[in-house]
Structure 1
Amino acid sequence: MATVTLKGNAINTVGELPKTGTKAPAFSLTATDLSTKSLSDFSGSRVVLNIFPSVDTGTCAQSVRQFNTEASELENTKVLCISKDLPFAQDRFCGAEGLDNVISLSDFKTGSFGKDYGVVFADGPLEGLLSRSVVVLNESGEVIYTEQVSETVDEPNYKAALEVLY
């Protein structure tokens, strides 16, 4: 279990992020077209997992915008924006914002992604949603960077996350 804060108040997750140097856990998530996407669909690419509570909050929306901008400059890299938002909300947001360099995926069906990656809030007002985190994978699907943002309302460290890809 990891402890982070929400506006200074401690909240816990169900586990810990995958360790650097390990193989990333497999997953099946729902895309905005309601198809199922799995980690193996991105095999051979570097992958940035931008994980957050809801695209309908300012910080989460900004992380999607920022990674969309950064992704356009990265070779052989896919940015997956993952939350428990319904695919319809994710699609609406990215369409309205003109964001086409990121792939929105939802963990709403089973919640297994959040459990397997240790990022589901176990308590507090966001219980059941995903903790703001970034996990970066190399082309072989190995974890090369992780960050679980210690204060949920803060943005992730974009620079540190992307430096491992240069």
Structure 2
Amino acid sequence: MASITFKENPVTLVGEEVKVGDKAPDFKVLANDLSEVTLNDYKDSVKLISVVPSLDTGVCAEQTRRFNEEATKLGNVKVLTISMDLPFAQKRWCGAEGIENVDTLSDHRDASFGKAYGVLIEELRLLARSVFVVDSENKVTYVEYVSEATNHPDYESAIAAVEQAK
């Protein structure tokens, strides 16, 4: 299992660690309109899944803005940002920040994504910062569990993985 810290304190991740080559686990999260969204809703597309603890924090906001900018250059790639934030807060934040190229999805109700991808922080009920690239056949082609949750992911490697998965 991936080992991470949050503000330099070790935390426990719940769920199974996802590895390159795995079939991407399904999940059920909520869109901003409270409709249910699953992995199948993005079938036949390459998916860049950006996972953040909360959009209302500096690093998470920067990460989401960065992938929003990159999304315009990636073509037919779906960029998803998943957090435990409520859908209403995600919608408000995206509107205030001008985020239009990323689907923000809430795992707040069931922690379905967090458990399926091994990123649910047991002590905080937040998601650990991570990035997954899933190809159009739902095979995982890139995984990064950021070792310190307050650090940025490796943006360049994630974008390169998306390009390879196309």
TM-score bracket, normalised by the shorter chain, equals over 0.9
Find out whether 1:157 has 2:157 as its counterpart: no
What are the Cα deviations for residues 39-88 of structure 1, in whole angstroms up to 9, with x where unaligned? Answer: 11100110011011111111111111000000110021011100010000
Question: Structure 2: which 5+ residue stretches go unaligned?
Answer: none
Letter of the 2:113 counterpart: F
Q: Which sits farther off after the overlay, 69-78 or 2-11?
A: 2-11
Cα distance in 2 for residues equivalent to 1:38 and 1:122: 23
Preserved contact between residue 120 and residue 128 of structure 1 (Cα < 8 Å):
yes
Within 5 Å, give how 1:61-100 maps onto structure 2.
Answer: 61-100=61-100
Cα distance in 2 for residues equivalent to 1:137 and 1:112: 17
Letter of the 1:147 counterpart: E
Give the superposition deviation at 1:98. 0.7
Cα distance in 2 for residues equivalent to 1:141 and 1:106: 20
Question: Structure 1: which 5+ residue stretches go unaligned?
Answer: none
Q: 1:43 maps to what in 2?
A: 43
TM-score by structure 2 length?
Answer: 0.94
Helix, strand or coil at the partner of 1:37? strand
Task: Please point out which of 124, 142, 145 is paired with 2:142.
Answer: 145
Identity among equivalent pairs (%): 48
Letter of the 1:5 counterpart: T
Give the superposition deviation at 1:113. 1.3
Q: 1:113 maps to what in 2?
A: 113
Helix, strand or coil at the partner of 1:25? coil
CA RMSD of superposed structures (Å): 1.1
Give the superposition deviation at 1:6. 2.0
TM-score by structure 1 length?
Answer: 0.94
The size of the alignment, in residue pairs, is 163
Cα distance in 1 for residues equivalent to 2:17 and 2:157: 16
Give the superposition deviation at 1:16. 4.3
Cα distance in 1 for residues equivalent to 2:101 and 2:94: 10
Helix, strand or coil at the partner of 1:26? coil
Give the superposition deviation at 1:108. 1.0
Preserved contact between residue 131 and residue 148 of structure 1 (Cα < 8 Å):
yes
Cα distance in 2 for residues equivalent to 1:56 and 1:14: 23
Letter of the 2:137 counterpart: S
Give the superposition deviation at 1:163. 0.2
Cα distance in 2 for residues equivalent to 1:160 and 1:135: 11
